[in-house]
Amino acid sequence: MKKIALLSVFVMAVVIGFSLMPAQALDLVKLQTCWMPEHETFLPWLAKQNGWDKEEGLDLELLFFDSGMAQMEALPAKQWVMGGTGGVPQVVGALRYGAYMIGLGNDESMTNAIYVRPDSPVLKTKGFNKNAPDVIGSPDTVKGKTVLVTTVSSAHYALSTWLKMLGIEDKDVIIKQMDQASIIAAFDKGVGDIACLWAPYTLAAEDKGWKQVSDIKKAGAALPITLVGDRDFCDKNPETVAKFLRVYLRSVNYLKAKGSSPEVVKLYQKFMKDWCGQEMTEANCKKDIDTHPVWNIEEQLALFDTSKGESTAAKWQRMIAEFFTAQGRFKPEELDKINKSGYVTDKFLKMVKTPIPTDK
């Protein structure tokens, strides 16, 4: 009888305990989100580590993709509903599936770059185009070269903007499609003449002594990582989208407050190892953080502001779409469809509850 009584007390205690748990802990909204093994994913990873998603009533599942195009190919099957992608695949997602651009992840203009080996003839000329004095290369040294690149990606955009500064196009080189890890391995073994990379693979290239000849910023362009959303899901669940953005922006505030401090560098090193499967030195972690500016809620709203016409965020995306149309990768009618789709939107950012914690 005593055992039964004790069991009854135990069961009652469990029931009471569950009844006292916060409602959000019992009813979290699970979200499948898409990410790549790079800087912007550190922010939701950090939020997960600290339980910030759960404080918003969410449970973020961080799904691994090796490229933005792989993310877009998974969208029709509803494998994810939100996440981070490159500005180039964002355009493709908007064209094919109506995907929203719901926010900005970070600035990748300095971290999508072109590399050659130290003995490359490409290095002989600097400032061929007076409008891009820091860009290295010339038509004569680049034409006909074999280029390793993840096609229709931010690294591909870096390639195309570089070639444009030299007065040539994609058709003037031999393009070999590879994922980023394969590019590093192949180029290291002597395959190809030019490697197009995004961070953190750019850091690996520099560790190997490869020489950078251009990046998107040096070539006079801009490229963000975007926060992307499945249009149908976002339209049906706007408050959930706003909560997702608040979680991401809380990590933005954390980074802005702490920068690349030793504490953050250690966390970033753990993130790169545990989630990305990459070993990175503390020095490279610090550099990766420092070369990826992020925008807080006020800055994001300013970049999406349309009160004086086209927003800065929409302009960046339009320039990407126009460039690839000029390269023949989009048809003029597809460009028109993209520009009229209204996929760049601040309606969810405007719903984000403020103030957002800084967590110094």
pTM score, two decimals?
0.85
Taking Cα atoms as reference points, which of 227, 229, 228 lies closest to residue 297?
A: 227
Domain boundary among 169, 184, 215: 215
Do residues 134 and 270 share a domain?
A: no
Do residues 150 and 190 share a domain?
A: yes
Do residues 261 and 307 share a domain?
A: yes
The upper half-sphere exposure of residue 179, i.e. CA atoms within 13 Å in the direction of its Cβ, equals 10
Do residues 347 and 240 share a domain?
A: yes
Do residues 96 and 155 share a domain?
A: no
Q: What is the pLDDT of residues 134-150, one digit of tens each?
A: 999 999 999 999 999 99
Handedness of CA 226, 229, 235, 237 (dihedral sign): negative
Strands 82-86 and 29-35: parallel
Domain assignment present for residue 126? The answer is yes
Asked if residue 203 lies in contact with residue 280, where contact means CB atoms within 8 angstroms, the answer is: yes
pLDDT (0 to 100) of residue 8 = 47
Domain assignment present for residue 6? The answer is no
Q: Is the pLDDT of residue 258 over 60?
A: yes
Q: What is the pLDDT of residues 61-113, one digit of tens each?
A: 999 999 999 999 999 999 999 999 999 999 999 999 999 999 999 999 999 99
Per-residue pLDDT band at 324 (split at 50, 70, 90): confident
Q: Which domain covers residue 201, as residue numbers?
A: 112-215
Do residues 60 and 146 share a domain?
A: no
pLDDT (0 to 100) of residue 286 = 97
pLDDT (0 to 100) of residue 15 = 44
C-alpha span between 122 and 102 (Å, rounded): 39
pLDDT (0 to 100) of residue 16 = 46
Q: What is the pLDDT of residues 207-242, one digit of tens each?
A: 999 999 999 999 999 899 999 999 999 999 999 999
pLDDT (0 to 100) of residue 22 = 46
Burial 55-83 (b: 16+ CB within 10 A, else e): bbbbebebeebebbbbbbbebeeeebbbb
Helices 42-50 & 262-274 angle (0-180, nearest 10): 100
Do residues 287 and 317 share a domain?
A: yes
Do residues 269 and 326 share a domain?
A: yes
Percent of the chain with pLDDT over 70: 92
Domain assignment present for residue 356? The answer is no
Do residues 173 and 53 share a domain?
A: no
Asked if residue 311 lies in contact with residue 114, where contact means CB atoms within 8 angstroms, the answer is: no
C-alpha span between 74 and 32 (Å, rounded): 12
pLDDT (0 to 100) of residue 360 = 65
Domain assignment present for residue 232? The answer is yes
Domain boundary among 181, 215, 249: 215
Per-residue pLDDT band at 329 (split at 50, 70, 90): confident
Domain assignment present for residue 326? The answer is yes
pLDDT (0 to 100) of residue 323 = 84
Domain assignment present for residue 9? The answer is no
C-alpha span between 297 and 256 (Å, rounded): 12
Strands 29-35 and 58-64: parallel
Q: How many structural domains is the chain composed of?
A: 2
Domain assignment present for residue 336? The answer is yes
280: domain CATH number is 3.40.190.10
Domain assignment present for residue 151? The answer is yes
Do residues 208 and 239 share a domain?
A: no
Domain boundary among 171, 195, 215: 215
Q: What is the pLDDT of residues 286-300, one digit of tens each?
A: 999 999 999 999 999
Per-residue pLDDT band at 326 (split at 50, 70, 90): confident
pLDDT (0 to 100) of residue 20 = 46
pLDDT (0 to 100) of residue 251 = 98
Strand-pair partners of 147: 175, 194
